[in-house]
Amino acid sequence: MRDLLPVLSGWYAARTPFGLATVVAVSRSAPRDPGAAMAVGPDDEVVGSVSGGCVEGAVFELAREVVASGEARLETFGYSDEDAFAVGLTCGGEVTVLVRPVTPEADPTFGAVARSVAAGEPVTVATVTDGPAPRGATLAVWPGRVGGTLGSTGLDVAVTADARGELALGATGLRHYGPRGERREDSVTVFLHSFAPPPRMLVFGAIDYAAAVARIGDFLGYRVTVCDARPVFATPKRFPAGVEVVVDWPHRYLHGTDTDERTVICVLTHDPKFDVPLLEEALRRPAAYIGAMGSRRTHDERMRRLLESSLSEGELARLRSPVGLDLGARTPEEVAVSVAAEIVALRWGGTGVPLTATAGAIHRAPSG
């Protein structure tokens, strides 16, 4: 959805109705996660995807219908044993899609939400998907304000509280309520879609490997910062456009930088005077991933020095070193793929084993 907003904002500003399809639930091996979106606008222009190609044709027709009728629709698509190439997911999964018309009258907060997402301001959009409440009604929830309504004051109050909790976690998913927001009932289903600012990737050591890691981090949607104490190496022209480059001692910069449970920290300096004090700082703070580059010998020496610090065993166990998965990587670009693969595997609980050697669902549910 985040990637579609520039196009959708243009349609919205021109007061051109469009149909917006959003994945609100998946099961088994569905190809897209909740929040994936597709829109059908003027002259049947299509942007986005809800299944990677399996059901886009059917969703296209649904989007045209909801624009014509002004009524939102909820549809579930799944695998068909009789005809795997009929409308359905040949991967064996199931995806539930909410398709709703978007106009300034139907969704008066859409423009404000789009502006917030573009500016990196956190916001959650709550949308009724089913039950005795107006299907497709939306409530936009920011940390300090709300806009829109789901049809009743009680429901708005309950959903606002939950939406702010989900926003703090960057979480997206379905919640259930009574028609007036009752917690013990589940007749109304609401989809909470959180637009938290992009997670950060902090890369320390302005070397060729750092440029490749920064490039793939940007591709994966991270807000990337490269930091090095040596100004001759830490120059913006050596890194992709949009990557922040900072000249500072790594541990000092990290000490003054906020991190959270989504932050990725890549230590590529492999120089004890830089990486030991940096890792002492990194391993004591929240982060999704902390990896350090170096040979086995460098790793052993680094661990010896870290063991002499006051870090606990639990803190030391968070370190991924040597960094990356065993892909046989040689070039900086290949090493960056190795590092990115380890980050993705850790995020989703993957094993790093070839899929040909595994069984069961390919797309794992998020842990926790």
User: Does residue 334 surpass a pLDDT of 80?
Assistant: yes
Report the C-alpha gap between 72 and 77 in whole angstroms. 16
pLDDT band at 282 (very low <50, low <70, confident <90, very high): very high
Task: Give residue 252's pLDDT.
Answer: 97
Least confident of 50-54, 129-133, 257-261, 321-325: 50-54
- The secondary structure of residue 205, as a DSSP letter, is S
Percentage, residues of the chain above pLDDT 90 = 70
User: Does residue 238 surpass a pLDDT of 60?
Assistant: yes
User: Does residue 181 surpass a pLDDT of 70?
Assistant: yes
Contact at 8 Å (CB) between 213 and 191? no
pLDDT (mean) for 333-348: 94
pLDDT band at 8 (very low <50, low <70, confident <90, very high): very high
Task: Give residue 77's pLDDT.
Answer: 85
pLDDT band at 202 (very low <50, low <70, confident <90, very high): very high
User: Does residue 84 surpass a pLDDT of 50?
Assistant: no
On average, the pLDDT of the chain sits at: 90
pTM, 2 dp: 0.67
Report the C-alpha gap between 35 and 57 in whole angstroms. 19
CA atoms within 13 A on the CB side of 348: 14
Task: Give residue 11's pLDDT.
Answer: 97
Residues 273-279: contacts with CB within 8 Å, 24+ apart?
Answer: 274/204, 274/205, 274/229, 274/249, 274/250, 275/204, 275/205, 275/250, 275/302, 276/302, 276/305, 276/306, 276/309, 277/250, 277/251, 278/204, 278/250, 278/251, 278/254, 279/306, 279/319
User: Which is more confident, 360 or 87?
Assistant: 360
For 96-142, what is each residue's pLDDT tens digit? 999 999 999 999 999 999 999 998 899 999 999 999 999 999 999 99
Run of H or E residues at 140: strand 138-141
User: Does residue 367 surpass a pLDDT of 70?
Assistant: no
Highest mean pLDDT (candidates 25-39, 88-102, 128-142, 262-276): 128-142
Report the C-alpha gap between 183 and 175 in whole angstroms. 10
